[in-house]
Structure 1
């Protein structure tokens, strides 16, 4: 999946860019999903959903034209991504999520966008230049950046790649010193699949799963160490 976070100060134009970018990518024949991060909560006060959410762990709504799900607690975007069915993911906000590259939205007024630079920026959108970063006011150019250089890491901060955090690996990827495949949690030789999604395994969990499964299989007739093993559960 190609993914990118659109970050900027409040009222910098993140939503405007997200909509325009989704339109551009959709015109190119891609399925686009979006996640909006908010520090202020998601307001459904006064609705039937709010009444149900007071007593239910989660609420889902289905109508002829759309469907929605509502959880009463925060969920990781990694939990939500499989539900989106997208080829490209646009995250509006999420400054603290170090497992994504970023597009910095710089409207040319308000707070200094340079204060948000982390080293994970693919470029800047808007009239306010930021030293050392490519800049454009063309949404089509931003779409090219996303498709050519967008990525998503596991977000486990497991250290299996040799970096201290996913943010550090993301910085190395952005400057060409690493690749998304270096995220060992997403390229493990042990593959655990839930539905149509491969689950990210940190090195410790991978070793635990491998040792546990191999230990159990060693008691079965016909098991040959070294041959691939496939286990399915419903």
Structure 2
């Protein structure tokens, strides 16, 4: 899953730009998730969820045509990515509202070190050029392994080269493609060898069970340490 960050100062059209990018990516056949960061809350006073929380619930969940979770704490980007990776196979995560991230971004105001392009969302209708940039120069969750397998000394150097167009044909070799390990909700970096080792071990055990009817393509294993 690759990450695209829409950044800019207040009231410069970030949400309008997110809408245009998401629509175009979906039209191109990609599966897209979005993440909105806010200083306020997502719950509404007086609603059932608010009453549940005031009664003392630490986590409020709702399900019907949609499913949601409200947790009384913020989650950083690696933790959110870990949750999304567990839920479904998403091609792009479009993020809006964080102040600082070392991921490819489209800015609606001032460019930064990782800015692909600065645009005025209210003056552009076609975003084909943006989508082409996103496809070539965005990248997934960086695990700070600094393994050098991409040809760069560090993950940060790879990210800078990718954004600047010096690594269009290069991708991170240590993405959590086969296994995502989370400890207390946060992803733990695993190099490809460890990912393959864990995958073969766990799938070997699952295949030994009577799971023929499950036709598993994805196996989730959650381990909770006893008190």
TM-score (norm 1): 0.65
Aligned in 2, Cα 1:173/1:72: closer, same or farther, shift over 3 Å? same
Residues 35 and 90 of structure 1 are in contact (CA less than 8 Å); yes or no, is this contact kept in structure 2?
yes
**Aligned equivalent of 2:201:** 230
Provide the rounded CA distance (Å) in 2 between the counterparts of 1:27 and 1:229.
Answer: 36
Residue 225 of structure 1: aligned partner = none
- The alpha carbon displacement at 1:40 in A equals 3.3
**Structure 2 partner of 1:42:** 42
Worse-superposed segment, 37-46 or 142-151 = 37-46
Q: 1:49 deviation in Å?
A: 1.5
Q: Who is 1:125 aligned against?
A: 119
Q: Is the 8 A contact 1:33 1:85 kept in 2?
A: no
1:180 aligned partner? 171
Flag the 1:158–1:181 CA change in 2: closer, same or farther, 3 A. closer
C-alpha separation in 2, matches of 1:44 and 1:141: 38
Structure 1: stretches of 5+ with no match in the other structure: 107-112, 129-135, 214-227
RMSD over aligned CA atoms reads: 3.5
Deviation of the 1:142 alpha carbon: 1.5
> Residues 145-173 of structure 1, C-alpha deviation per residue, up to 9 Å, x if partnerless?
2223222223x44544433xx54431122
**Distance 1:126-1:60 versus aligned 2 partners, 3 A rule:** same
Cα distance, 1:34–1:187 mapped onto 2, change above 3 Å: closer
Structure 1 CA distance, aligned partners of 2:121 and 2:16? 15
1:139 to 120, 127, 151: 127
The answer (yes or no) to whether the contact 2:2–2:141 under 8 Å persists in 1 is no
TM-score, normalization: structure 2?
0.66
Query: Once the 2 structures are TM-superposed, how far is the Cα of residue 47 of structure 1 from its aligned partner?
Result: 1.9
Distance 1:11 1:43, change over 3 A: farther
Distance 1:180 1:44, change over 3 A: farther
Q: 5+ residue gaps in structure 2?
A: 206-220, 222-227
Partner in structure 2 of residue 66 of structure 1: 66
Q: Which residue of 1 aligns with 2:216?
A: none
Aligned-partner SS, 2:74: coil
- Contact kept in structure 2, 1:122 and 1:145, CA below 8 Å: yes
Secondary structure in 1 aligned to 2:131? helix
Matched with 1:169 is: 158
Are the counterparts in 1 of residues 30 and 91 from structure 2 also a CA contact under 8 Å? Answer: yes
Paired positions, count: 188
Aligned partner of residue 83 in structure 2, secondary structure: helix
- Tell me, in whole angstroms, the C-alpha distance in 1 between the residues paired with 2:12 and 2:25: 21
Deviating beyond 6 angstroms after TM superposition, the runs of 4 or more aligned structure 1 residues are none
Query: 1:144 Cα deviation (Å)?
Result: 2.1
The structure that has the greater radius of gyration is 1
Give how far 1:44 is off. 2.8
Aligned to 1:181, the other structure's residue is in SS state coil
